[in-house]
Amino acid sequence: MGDSAFSALISVLSVLSLVLCSNAEDPYRFYTWNVTYGDIYPLGVKQQGILINRQFPGPPIECVTNDNLIINVFNSLDEPFLISWNGVQQKRNSWQDGVYGTNCPIPPGGNFTYVLQVKDQIGSYFYFPSLGFHKAAGGYGGFKIASRSVIPVPFDPPAGDFTVLAGDWFVKNHTDLRATLDSGTDLPFPDGLLINGRGSNGYIFPVDQGKTYRFRISNVGTATSINFRIQGHKMLLVEVEGIHTLQNTYDSIDLHLGQSCSVLVTADQPVQDYYMVVSTRFTSSVLTSTSILRYSGSAGGFSGPPPGGPTIQIDWSLEQARSFRRNLTASGPRPNPQGSYHYGMINVTRTIRLVNSAPVINGKQRYAINSVSFIPSDTPLKLADHFNIQGVFSIGSMPDGPTGAGAYLQTAVMGADFRGYAEVVFENPEDSVQSWHIDGHNFFVVGMDGGQWSPSSRLNYNLQDTVSRCTVQVYPQSWTAAYMPLDNVGMWNVRSENWARQYLGQQFYLRVFSPANSWRDENPIPNNALLCGRAIGH
What is the average pLDDT value for the chain, to the nearest integer?
95
pLDDT in tens, 151-182: 999 999 999 999 999 999 999 999 999 999 99
pLDDT at 24: 52
- Secondary structure of residue 3 in the 3-state scheme: helix
Above 70 in pLDDT, residue 13? no
pLDDT in tens, 329-375: 999 999 989 988 899 999 999 999 999 999 999 999 999 999 999 99
Nearest-CA neighbor of 275 among 256, 249, 261, 295? 295
Q: Write the single-letter amino acid at 169.
A: W
What percent of the chain is predicted at pLDDT more than 70?
A: 96
Q: How far apart are CA 73 and CA 59, in angstroms?
A: 12
Cβ proximity of 453 and 481 under 8 Å: yes
pLDDT class of 22 with cuts at 50, 70, 90: very low
pLDDT at 362: 94
Nearest-CA neighbor of 52 among 40, 37, 63? 37
Above 80 in pLDDT, residue 291? yes
Q: How far is CA 288 from the centre of its chain?
A: 22
pLDDT at 498: 98
The DSSP-derived string for 258-298 is T-EEEEEEE--S-SSEEEEEEEEES-SS--EEEEEEEETT-
pLDDT class of 25 with cuts at 50, 70, 90: confident
pLDDT in tens, 364-406: 999 999 999 999 999 999 999 999 999 999 999 999 999 999 9
Q: Using alpha carbons only, how large is the chain's radius of gyration in Å?
A: 22
What percent of the chain is predicted at pLDDT more than 90?
A: 93
What's the full length of the chain, in residues?
A: 538
pLDDT in tens, 28-76: 999 999 999 999 999 999 999 999 999 999 999 999 999 999 999 999 9
The DSSP-derived string for 320-373 is HHHH-BB-TTSB-SSSSBGGGS-GGGSPP-EEEEEEEE--EETTEE--EETTEE
pLDDT in tens, 203-257: 999 999 999 999 999 999 999 999 999 999 999 999 999 999 999 999 999 999 9
**What's the pTM value of the predicted model, to 2 decimals?**
0.95
pLDDT in tens, 488-530: 999 999 999 999 999 999 999 999 999 998 999 999 999 999 9
pLDDT at 532: 98
pLDDT at 3: 47
Nearest-CA neighbor of 471 among 185, 18, 52, 89? 89
Above 70 in pLDDT, residue 414? yes
Above 90 in pLDDT, residue 316? yes
- Secondary structure of residue 523 in the 3-state scheme: coil
Nearest-CA neighbor of 228 among 162, 164, 278, 281? 278
Above 60 in pLDDT, residue 427? yes
pLDDT in tens, 100-139: 999 999 999 999 999 999 999 999 999 999 999 999 999 9
Above 90 in pLDDT, residue 19? no
Residues 6+ apart with CB under 8 A from 129: 50, 81, 82, 83, 84, 135, 137, 138, 139, 140
Provide the β-strand partners of residue 162: 215
Q: How far apart are CA 391 and CA 411, in angstroms?
A: 10
pLDDT at 533: 97
